[in-house]
Every structure is written in structure tokens, then in C-alpha cells.
Amino acid sequence: MTIKEYEDKYLENVKDLLVELEEYIVSIDEDHLDQVGQDYRDKMALIDLQEIKENNGKCYLAIDNNKVVGLIMGIVIAYKEEDYLDYKCPKSGNITELIISKGYRKHGIGNLLIEKLEQYFKSIGCKYIHVDVFAYNKNAIKFYSQKGYHNRMHNMIKKVD
């Protein structure tokens, strides 16, 4: 297993992993709001990779026998002027995606990827790392909790019809 920075030759593998994650999110979404849109596979990876490029981010891949089996993406948070009115705005990273292909979960790959991205954020002076985790993704919540992440905010939703 090797961890390496994203290269364009792996774009199709990245697209596959993003679809795999989104299909999983759809399957556990108790609100039935998520979907895998018609253009998701073709567009989402390009959107994510552009966000990384524009926000001093990184994408690392876990590769096993020349196959991408996991990835992590993260960016440096870009604060807006109004953010400074009520927040200290320390330099912070944001994990935007962490995906391990189904057959490779529970083998420590997520640990390798998150450690790599955390090292990068620390090396550029980030003081905190944020991650949004889908509330119904209990496995991800447990994983991040074990890595020392904790809730700071709760995003709540109510159906009104």
C-alpha cells in the first residue's frame, strides 16, 4: 500500500470512488434528500479538484497493486471578512472527502490517509482541522471521534410538509 499525491492519470479512479461514497450516503440517508445526479460522476471530481487547487489543498490517494482504493481531499479554509467579526479565524484545514473502497475498509487505510493530510495541514501552519460528517454516517462519526475530532456545531433539519 502506498500513499501518494493525486495525479491526473488517476482521475477515473477518483470519479469511481466519489460515486461509491455518494451511493453509500444515499443508502443511509434517512431524510431521502441525497441523490447521485446524472452528471455527478463526470463533474464532481473536477469540482473537488478545482477547489483543492484554488484553496491550497491536497488530494492523497491510497494505491494497492496500481489500483486506487482510497482517497482524502482537503483544503485550507478561506475566511470572509464578516467571519472575523465573531470568530478568531485561525488558519485551519478542512477535510472535504475521505473515501475507502468497500473491500478495503477496516485495514488502516483511512488512518494512513488522514495522518498524511494532517501532516500537510500542520506543515503549512494550520492550527485546527475541520470535517463535516453526515449525521447518519455512524461509521465515519466513530472513526473521526477515535482520531480526536469532536462536535463543535450541530446542523439540524426539520421536515415541515
Q: How far apart are the C-alpha atoms of 104 and 114, rounded to whole Å? A: 15
Environment class of 21 (CB within 10 Å of its CB; exposed 0-12, middle 13-18, buried 19+): buried
pLDDT value for 40: 97
**What is this structure's pTM?**
0.93
Helix (H, G, I), strand (E, B), or coil: what is residue 40?
A: helix
What pLDDT sits at residue 5?
98
Comparing C-alpha atoms, which of 88, 97, 78, 89 is closest to residue 137? 97
Q: What does the pLDDT read at residue 21?
A: 96
CA distance 107 to 159: 38
Give the amino acid at 3. I
- pLDDT for 158 equals 87
Complete domains list, the chain, with CATH: 2-146 (3.40.630.30)
Pick from 111, 74, 117, 114: nearest CA to 96: 74
What would the grid cell of residue 86 be? 465573531
CA distances from 24 to 13, 17, 36, 42, 87 (A): 17, 11, 10, 18, 34
Question: What is the reported pLDDT for 42?
Answer: 95
pLDDT means over runs of 10, the chain (161 residues): 96 96 96 96 97 98 95 97 94 97 95 98 98 95 96 90 88
Q: Say what the pLDDT of residue 79 is.
A: 95
